[in-house]
């Protein structure tokens, strides 16, 4: 295993310590629960927005904690759901008179643990709402899911409900908004390589030197097909076709287009992919109003990328344009 790590069992804790050291003025940290939260939250003036899933997908979700995005994140270990007590502590600490909304990507472990935490929290008088994200069109059921997986489209749910929460939206309004975003967003990914969880020490799947996994999951779950590597444009066509026909998107739609890196692919290649994706949008009459090229939801150091399309409306465009302040800043 070749990565920057000390004791593999401390990988997540040491990453979180680094994150909080780098943002000491805005973030607080409760090590016992892997809990990272906004130093100025909770507030009874605002619904708290929280999320927690397996680690290894950074910047999702701990690096999305900040004004206009998440109020807290409570990640589990690498590729493993946060325990119930992490979820519960997160709900309790972020308790607000307006309620707490948790966002959960559709994986059985995450959903089960958050559901149990929700039951306990509600019994203690906390008002809790949930939005489930399942934007990955690759396969219907998967290794860890009944139904579709949640992947990079999750970003758009965070951004929309995060912005609306800052404007004072109610819990019920935010649940409806989050569900609406989830229904309007579709993604699919492709892997050029596997990745190695620190505590496992070996790759999560084998893949040949000339192969790609089309429709891969962010935990290395099988996709639609194992294929020989093709030209970048052909790969983008396959991703675009799968996403475009699924909603379906129609000529005249205004969309947000995201090319998300899976962790080991440099941004130069992501822009090369964006070029073809933008051309395909144009060819199909889609107007790309907003674009996102970079890493949003990764799979450790996996080489690969995903393509996400979100169908916009005027409210969503306004929410995506709203200010946000998160730990990840580039310039």
Residues annotated as catalytic are 57, 219
Number of residues that bind its own copies (CB under 8 A): 66
Strand order in the sheet with 185-191: 225-228, 211-214, 185-191, 304-311, 254-261, 287-294
- Candidate segments 88-96, 98-106, 139-147, 321-329, binder of its own copies by CB under 8 A: 321-329
Q: How far apart are CA 159 and CA 151, in angstroms?
A: 14
The residue within the footprint of its own copies, chosen from 140, 167, 271, 321 (CB under 8 A), is 271
Contact 69, 162 (CB under 8 A): yes
Q: How far is the CB of 122 from its own copies (least distance, A)?
A: 31
178 contacts its own copies (rule: CB under 8 A): no
Largest CA distance in the chain: 56
272 contacts its own copies (rule: CB under 8 A): yes
Contact 50, 74 (CB under 8 A): yes
Mark 158-177 with x for binding to its own copies (rule: CB under 8 A) and - for no binding.
-x------------------
- Candidate segments 79-87, 103-111, 127-135, 263-271, binder of its own copies by CB under 8 A: 263-271
Judged by beta carbon, residue 128 or residue 157, the one nearer its own copies is 157
Q: How far apart are CA 181 and CA 249, in angstroms?
A: 14
Q: How far apart are CA 102 and CA 190, in angstroms?
A: 28
44-63 positions binding its own copies, by CB under 8 A? 55-56, 58-59, 63
5 contacts its own copies (rule: CB under 8 A): yes
The residue within the footprint of its own copies, chosen from 74, 293, 312, 316 (CB under 8 A), is 293
Q: How far apart are CA 26 and CA 211, in angstroms?
A: 43
- DSSP E strands in 32-85: the ranges are 35-38, 48-51, 72-73
42 contacts its own copies (rule: CB under 8 A): no
Contact 202, 15 (CB under 8 A): no
The residue within the footprint of its own copies, chosen from 36, 47, 50, 64 (CB under 8 A), is 64
For the four alpha carbons of 255, 134, 205 and 77, in that order, the dihedral sign comes to: positive
237 contacts its own copies (rule: CB under 8 A): no
285 contacts its own copies (rule: CB under 8 A): no
- The contacts of residue 318 (CB under 8 Å, 6+ apart) are none
Residues that bind its own copies in the complex, under the rule CB under 8 A: 2-6, 11, 14-19, 21-22, 55-56, 58-59, 63-64, 66, 69, 155, 159, 192-193, 209-210, 229, 231-233, 235, 263-276, 278-279, 291-296, 298, 300-301, 303, 305, 324, 326, 328-331
């Amino acid at each position: 295993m070749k990565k920057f790590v000390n004791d593999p069992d401390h990988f997540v804790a040491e990453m979180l310590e680094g994150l909080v050291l780098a943002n000491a003025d805005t973030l607080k940290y409760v090590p016992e629960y892997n809990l990272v939260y906004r130093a100025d939250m909770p507030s009874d003036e605002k619904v708290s927005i929280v999320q927690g899933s397996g680690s290894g997908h950074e910047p999702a979700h701990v690096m999305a904690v900040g004004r206009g995005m998440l109020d807290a994140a409570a990640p589990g270990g690498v590729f493993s759901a946060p325990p119930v007590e992490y979820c519960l502590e997160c709900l309790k600490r972020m308790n607000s008179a307006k309620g707490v909304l948790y966002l959960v990507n559709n994986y059985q472990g995450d959903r089960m643990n958050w559901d149990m935490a929700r039951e306990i929290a509600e019994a203690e008088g906390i008002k809790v709402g949930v939005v489930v994200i399942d934007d990955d069109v690759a396969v219907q059921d998967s290794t860890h899911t009944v139904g579709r997986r949640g992947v990079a489209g999750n970003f758009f749910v965070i951004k929309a409900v995060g912005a609306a929460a800052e404007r004072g939206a109610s819990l019920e309004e935010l649940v409806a908004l989050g569900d609406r975003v989830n229904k309007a967003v579709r993604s699919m990914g492709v892997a050029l390589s596997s990745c190695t969880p620190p505590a496992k020490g070996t790759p999560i799947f084998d893949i040949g030197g000339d192969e790609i996994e089309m429709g891969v999951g962010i935990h290395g779950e099988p996709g639609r097909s194992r294929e020989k590597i093709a030209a970048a444009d052909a790969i983008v066509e396959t991703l675009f076709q799968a996403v475009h026909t699924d909603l379906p998107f129609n000529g005249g739609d205004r969309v947000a287009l995201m090319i998300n890196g899976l962790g080991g692919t440099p941004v130069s290649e992501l822009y090369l992919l964006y070029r073809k994706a933008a051309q395909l949008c144009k060819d199909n009459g889609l107007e790309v109003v907003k674009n996102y090229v970079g890493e949003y939801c990764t799979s450790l150091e996996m080489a690969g990328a995903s393509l996400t399309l979100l169908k916009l409306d005027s409210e969503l465009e306004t929410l995506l344009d709203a200010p946000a302040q998160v730990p990840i800043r580039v310039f």
